Amino acid sequence: MKKISGIISAVLTAAALINPAFAESGALTASSSNAKIAWGLGASSDAYGRPLDAVNAEAKYSEKGGLFVGDAEHKRLWLTFDEGYENGYTEKILDILKEKNVRAVFFVTYDYAKDNPELIKRMIKEGHTVGNHTMSHPSLPDCSDEQLHSELSELHDYIKQQFGYDMYVMRPPKGEFSERVLDCAKQLGYTTVLWSFAYYDWNVDTQPDPNQAFEKVTSKLHPGAIYLLHAVSKTNTEILGRVIDNWRENGYIITPM
């Protein structure tokens, strides 16, 4: 028991150094439900076109620091990219975002940040948000309290030390989370960002047809949209400029996070 107590104490101390609010909470999240939720969206939407699953999750989990979709009152959206590894397209994506004067969110893993420091520096320099996608990309509900804390805090520390940047948003790998995961992230000062739009863009060997992808991405436009795109996608890179133009032509503002 003394050994376990010592481990927990060390974890709590490390957490408090990152975020004083963690020290005030006094504990990890053992009392929170750890039922795994594999995030996905059904076909049903509200009157504004927002996916009902995202609307309901926002109502249920926003107090725990979850963000699934924005409000219906404003024609705004967020553009986010997941960066598990580099496939040669991020530089072009950044070029397009710079040309269009758009700020996006890039969720990176430790390996990505370590292998692509110049891209991380450019993201930060050009005003994009760098988000925490964990050290090793595990399913976070499967992690112990100590592992969960380490997956987030060690990457936080690395990005801070190497790039002088404090991350404040995170995305759970595979979209798998639980109330315990949300609570731990919130205690560490993070908002957990899921999405209200995603599509089959991640398989580099089976890329979507650009025109079909453009239609799919633009037809699902809705207030408060959180778009998840994968930066490994050749198709996403090809259509990104047209997509941004379409969003703006429909009166939407692409909002920094």
Buried (b) or exposed (e) across 240-253, using 16+ Cβ within 10 A? bbebbebbeeeebe
- Give, for 191, the enclosing helix (H) or strand (E): strand 191-193
Provide the 3-class DSSP secondary structure of residue 175. helix
23 phi/psi in degrees, rounded to 5: -65, -35
CB atoms within 10 A of CB 211: 12
> Which of 133, 149, 156, 230 does the annotation list as catalytic?
230
CB atoms within 10 A of CB 6: 10
CB atoms within 10 A of CB 31: 9
Distance CA 204, CA 41 (A): 22
Provide the 3-class DSSP secondary structure of residue 6. helix
Give catalytic status of residue 230 as yes or no: yes
DSSP 57-111: HHHHHGGGTEES---SSS-EEEEEEEESS--S-HHHHHHHHHHHT---EEEE-HH
CB atoms within 10 A of CB 81: 25
Give catalytic status of residue 82 as yes or no: yes
Extended beta strands in 97-183, E state: 105-108, 129-132, 169-170, 176-177
> Which of 82, 145, 183, 201 does the annotation list as catalytic?
82
DSSP 10-62: HHHHHHHHH-HHHHHH-S-STTS----EE----S-B-TTS-BHHHHHHHHHHG
Return the active site residues: 82, 230
